[in-house]
A = this chain, B = another copy of it.
Amino acid sequence: MELTQRLLAGDRRALARLISLVENDGVAARAALAEVYPHTGCAHIIGVTGAPGVGKSSLVNELAKAYRRRRATVGIVAVDPTSPFSGGAILGDRVRMNDLAGDRGIFIRSMASRGSLGGLAAATADAIKLLDAAGFQKIFVETVGAGQTEVDITRAAHTTIVVAAPGMGDDIQAIKAGIMEIADLFAVNKADREGADAAAMTIQMMLDMNGSDAGRWTHHGLLADTIHPEASRASEVWKPSIRMTVATTGEGVDALVDCLEAHRAYLEMSGRLEERRRRMAAMEIEDILRRELLKGILGCVSSSDMRSLVDQVASRQLDPYGAAEMLLSKLA
């Protein structure tokens, strides 16, 4: 396939077109992904998440520039799990484009949920693969908020930065609620504002309270849980560190890059990188299975039969588990 060959040669247009292809989840996309897949696995994938307003986009921009100064190429995938309801530019994309435009060592792509069959997490994972195969060395995956979608998306990352900002009060509570476990690094951005030290102290306190075995409660999916009894074998433990940054001036950004590199080195030395790779593979296979299996069953049943089944459940003549069993029996 010509398009994939061009991608592997680093052609930006081919990359953009292939990402659109995976967003639309076609069969052509699948063939292309199979072709490029052997060429993936080199990139360092960095998830960046945090509540709206903490300055994630600006921070990612500065991190990208810092990496460019270190001669690394950078891909940025900005994910907006909201519906297309809002429209227009997402995640400050326009601003970003102006800021980083013209540097061929940087590739930026926004992904929005479109209610696509495949789901945003799957499309994002595929876009990351394409960037990886195209040779981008550092790939940032930026998501808004702290919901399950964001957690799912950042699970595709080797290193995850959780960004906070001072003076957001309840925001600390928001951090606690769900993403404490996924953080490898914390950045307290807007650190020139009042309350930055307090925010950092709160995070440190929560880290101390929770011990150093962050992540051990995280559920990685049926398949990953089945195949990874050894997930806790790595003996070295990473202690999430906290860095103060001011994205608007670039202050603290180089120190954060050093931390990112330290984490990457830790992953390699400790064997955790291999472990994360396998966990990511398991989660991805599981996601694909879920989708394909469901499509398979829906293909077996006429839409009028399906409608009548749903009507029976809605009118309480049949319970949902009973309905599911009837559909499952069509497969057997």
- The range of chain A's interface size is 35 or more
A144 surroundings in chain B (CB, below 8 A): 177
Q: If A81-B148, A311-B278 touch, does A51 touch B174 (CB 8 Å cutoff)?
A: yes
Q: Determine which of B86, B113, B314, B331 lies in contact with A281 in the assembled complex, contact meaning CB atoms within 8 Å.
A: B314
Q: How far is the CA of A301 from the CA of B30 in the complex (A)?
A: 24
- Nearest Cβ on chain B to A41's Cβ, whole angstroms: 5
Q: Determine which of B85, B214, B281 lies in contact with A320 in the assembled complex, contact meaning CB atoms within 8 Å.
A: B281
Q: If A217-B84, A277-B314 touch, does A319 touch B289 (CB 8 Å cutoff)?
A: no
* Contact in complex: A40, B316 (CB < 8 Å): yes
Q: How far is the CA of A223 from the CA of B151 in the complex (A)?
A: 25
Interface of A: prevailing SS: helix
Q: Which residue of B lies closest to A290 (CB)?
A: B290
Q: Which residue of B lies closest to A276 (CB)?
A: B314
> Which of A30, A152, A309, A320 has the largest number of chain B CB atoms within 10 A?
A320
Query: Does any Cβ of B come within 8 Å of A271's Cβ?
Result: no
Q: How far is the CA of A313 from the CA of B273 in the complex (A)?
A: 14
Binding site for B on A (CB under 8 A): 30, 33-34, 37-41, 51-53, 80-86, 113, 115-117, 144-152, 168-170, 173-174, 176-178, 180-181, 210, 214, 217-219, 222-223, 226-227, 274, 277-278, 280-282, 284-286, 288-290, 292-298, 303, 306-307, 309-311, 313-314, 316-317, 319-324, 327-328, 331
